[in-house]
Structure 1
Amino acid sequence: MLLNYNPRHCLPSAEDLPDSDDTPVDNQLQHLISVLLEATLALIWSQRQDWYFGVDMGIYYDPYESAIVPDGFLSVGVPRIIDEDLRLSYVLWEEQKVPILALEVVSQKRRKEYTKKKDFYAEMGILYYVIYNPLRKRKPRLEVYQLNKGNYELLEGEIIWLSELNLGIGKEKGIYQGIEREWLYWYDQDRKRYLTPEERAVNAQQEALKAQERTKKLEEKLRSLGVDPDQL
């Protein structure tokens, strides 16, 4: 891996490289789970600009090798926005930061998430490796590994605390884009789930309706007392 970037080496930039490996995701779930995590994180870390969450984006670790494309990945300590064109891909010798988390969602078409990819992410030095396998019936569907001395160790718990991120990650039933099923979510240190953008919008709408109802009842009460609220 080349993290020591020297412009004189004339290494290809993000503009020179494909933004993925042109392999489509196996199903929509792989994409939506990553998008939901990214959108929620954008609210949680709305005051921060030192992170980037990639979805179905190529990570280039060697100018002579094809990109590896996780379903999702998080990098901390990099600019969230480079310019108005945003990132085309994630190039290690430009970014100078290895992602801190990689996410793979297992589908019917296995892609060596538990073997080759796991070993490769460990070799890259990615601290957290998250595998979500909705097809499992007996074994845990969500597994989170943490890198320790070059090897991944499985972290225990239904909600797994990621100390380096000050976030927890877990799964539970919910509704996203009208789809009710099990999703992955972020949690705070008290194991309380962070609301998604959709949930926040619904809550805000409900609070607005409650405020309107309270105002209507107050106006009715004033009128019953002979007071015209429009004259106040």
Structure 2
Amino acid sequence: MALKGTMLDYSLLQNLPTAKDLPDSDDTPVDNELQNYIPNLLKSILAMIWSDRFDWYFGVDMGIYYDPDKSAIVPDGFLSVGVPRIIDENLRLSYVLWEEKRVPILVLEVVSQTRRGEYTAKKELYQNLGIQYYVIYNPQRKRKPRLEVYSLENEQYVLLGNESPIWLEEIGLGIGKEVGTYEQITREWLYWYDENGERFLTPEERSRQAESKAQQAESKAQQAESKAQQAETKAQQAESKAQQAETKAERYARRLRELGIDPDSV
């Protein structure tokens, strides 16, 4: 196989297996929940900010087949751009490079207490496959950066700045870490950011924001209704006073007439 930027050349190989022919799981359990939570959070945010796009796919704990004679590599998460978001009603069983014809643009690995080659073998493999961005998140790190993002330059990975968020030019998004709440769990999470460094909201946050706006709108409507009722009450009170004044004037005029006095002459 020869590298062609973000494409791999399988033209010389014959009788390549399809996704249906290949195992859709390596049966290796994740080491901790974060390895599912973090990529799923990124995927759910992306589904909102790219809701009008159908040329991308974000896989979570899915096998990437890059060589018909080798087992799949299973990153915690990966993003491909320029591929159909949905291939059919059964969705993807795995990500087969000779079928997709495009290498993922980003791969994510969440490091557990037991390292599995995230800084060595996996890094080298992703580099050789031509994956543009390699993101490693290690929540256990104390002295070194917990989040590292590598970019492929001249077929070699170069570490991008340690300042979070880190801008990914080829994707048009930034990725970074900060403390937040997701599924009622408050801790440090990975998020997507815009070009100004503003974090994109999670589905939960958007829902709460929409609910808050709805409550504010309802409160304003209630206040407006209350003011309208107060205005109506004042109008009714003014009308009542006018009627009382008119009644009093009529009674006064009638009394004057009874006394033989023309009210208009008074």
User: Could you say which TM-score interval applies, normalised by the shorter chain?
Assistant: over 0.9
Q: Is the 8 A contact 1:5 1:94 kept in 2?
A: no
Aligned residue runs from structure 1 range 32-111, under 5 A: 32-111=37-116
Distance 1:104 1:222 in 2: 59
Normalising by structure 2, we get a TM-score of 0.83
Residue 5 of structure 1 deviates from its aligned partner by: 5.1
1:28 to 16, 33, 51: 33
More displaced 10-residue stretch of structure 1: 115-124 or 15-24: 15-24
Normalising by structure 1, we get a TM-score of 0.95
Distance 1:128 1:32 in 2: 20
Letter in 1 for 2:177: K
Distance 1:210 1:81 in 2: 38
Q: Deviations over 1:124-162 (max 9, x none)?
A: 110100000000111110000001112110000221100
The number of aligned residues is 227
2:14 to 9, 13, 24: 9
Distance 1:12 1:135 in 2: 39
| Greater helix content | 2
Letter in 1 for 2:193: Y
1:180 aligned residue: 186
Distance 1:5 1:113 in 2: 26
Letter in 2 for 1:49: F
Residue 22 of structure 1 deviates from its aligned partner by: 1.1
Q: Deviations over 1:13-39 (max 9, x none)?
A: 111111121111101111000000011
Aligned residue runs from structure 1 range 175-214, under 5 A: 175-214=181-220
Residue 4 of structure 1 deviates from its aligned partner by: 4.1
- Structure 2: gaps (5+ residues): 3-7, 234-266
Q: Deviations over 1:77-133 (max 9, x none)?
A: 100000111100000000000111000000011111000100110011101000000
Letter in 2 for 1:69: V
Residue 196 of structure 1 deviates from its aligned partner by: 0.9
- Structure 1: gaps (5+ residues): 228-232
Distance 1:222 1:143 in 2: 58
Pair member with larger Rg: 2
